[in-house]
Amino acid sequence: MAETGRLRQAAAAAPLLSPVTLLRIAIVLGVAALWEFLAHSGWLYRDVVPSLMRIGAALIDLLSHGSYYFNLGVTAGEIGAALLIGGLSGLAVGLLLGANRFLSKAFEAYLYYLGPTPKIIFFPIMIMWFGVGSGSKIALGTLSCFFPVALSAAAGMRQIDKVLIRVGRSFRASTMQMVWKIYLPAMRHPIINGVRLGLGMALIGTLLAETKLSNKGIGFLIIQAYSTFDMPHMYAQLIMLFVLAIAANAAVGRLGGLATIKRK
């Protein structure tokens, strides 16, 4: 009973909002106030920084049209395909390089050199190979996603406890059994981190490709709003993209946490 009473007192004394939450709210409110000040200051060209009221109205208008959801579905499909292809191929290459010291020394340096290279420079090649449709956008997103997943998987392979590997080999486990029973469970955190980075890179690559040459997708809508100087709708689409990217990243992290709990 005494322990229950202390727990109730602690719960009652705990603040409804933690200091971290209060700081985050203060930052959001500060940015919103600064934005509104710039919108009414006249320092910038008219409509370059529209008021939050106009952006909110544009956001409501955007979400009330079915064409936005069609274009969102196009972009989501391209990003999903790029993440699937780039993630699986990056995982396979990372496992191979992490498990083989010779191949790692021979090829991993290329991943470090090519990884930071802006992938948009390969877009003309993607257009020649895959056409001007969704194929070239998926290809550029795949290329962008591949490198962070491969490097994270290779680093994760080297962090696996050698005892686990010896145990698997002592039971004469096949290569696939080693991958499914030893490698992947032991390196789930590096894989999840690589997938989260790969998701961001696939998002950037796909949207960049859509802004360069496309007639559908979120990137096309953003560049169209910019070309017609419809700044409220452009900012509204950027806000939605920001929110959806946060949600997707959180979902990947959540799936990783669920996988960890399930393993335990």
Asked if residue 1 is part of any domain, the answer here is: no
Torsion of CA 171, 173, 179, 184, to 10 degrees: -20
Q: Which domain holds residue 217?
A: 68-263
Are 128 and 148 within 8 A, CB to CB? no
Q: Please give the Cα distance from 114 to 11 (Å, whole number).
A: 52
Closest Cα partner for 65 from 237, 253, 192? 237
Asked if residue 44 is part of any domain, the answer here is: no
Q: Please give the Cα distance from 18 to 177 (Å, whole number).
A: 46
Q: Which two tokens stand for residue 166?
A: 């010896």
Residue with tokens 């719960």: 11
Within 13 Å and on the Cβ side, how many CA atoms surround 175?
A: 4
Q: Which two tokens stand for residue 31?
A: 């940015």
Q: Which two tokens stand for residue 6?
A: 């202390």
- Tell me what percent of the chain is helix, strand and coil, each rounded to the nearest 5: 85, 0, 15
Residue with tokens 């340096």: 109
DSSP state of 181: I
Asked if residue 222 is part of any domain, the answer here is: yes
Asked if residue 141 is part of any domain, the answer here is: yes
Asked if residue 217 is part of any domain, the answer here is: yes
pLDDT at residue 232, rounded to an integer:
92
pLDDT at residue 259, rounded to an integer:
54
Asked if residue 12 is part of any domain, the answer here is: no
Q: Residue 127's CB: how many other CB atoms inside 10 A? A: 19
Q: Could you read off the pLDDT of 160-182 as tens digits, one per residue?
A: 878 877 877 787 778 788 878 88
CA 77 to chain centre: 14
Radius of gyration of the chain (CA): 24
Torsion of CA 106, 112, 117, 123, to 10 degrees: 50
Asked if residue 19 is part of any domain, the answer here is: no
Q: Could you read off the pLDDT of 237-259 as tens digits, one per residue?
A: 999 999 998 898 888 877 766 55
**Number of structural domains found in the chain:** 1
Are 193 and 253 within 8 A, CB to CB? no
Residue-level length of the chain? 264
Residue % of the chain over a pLDDT of 70: 90
- What CATH number should be reported for the domain holding residue 92? 1.10.3720.10
CA 20 to chain centre: 24
Closest Cα partner for 137 from 226, 191, 71? 71
Using DSSP, state whether 11 is helix, strand or coil.
helix
pLDDT at residue 39, rounded to an integer:
84
Q: Could you read off the pLDDT of 10-51 as tens digits, one per residue?
A: 445 556 678 888 888 999 999 989 988 888 887 777 678 888
Q: What is the mean pLDDT of residues 117-122?
A: 88
**Amino acid at the residue 69:** Y
Note the pTM of the prediction, 2 decimals.
0.81
Q: Residue 264's CB: how many other CB atoms inside 10 A? A: 5
Asked if residue 26 is part of any domain, the answer here is: no
CA 146 to chain centre: 13
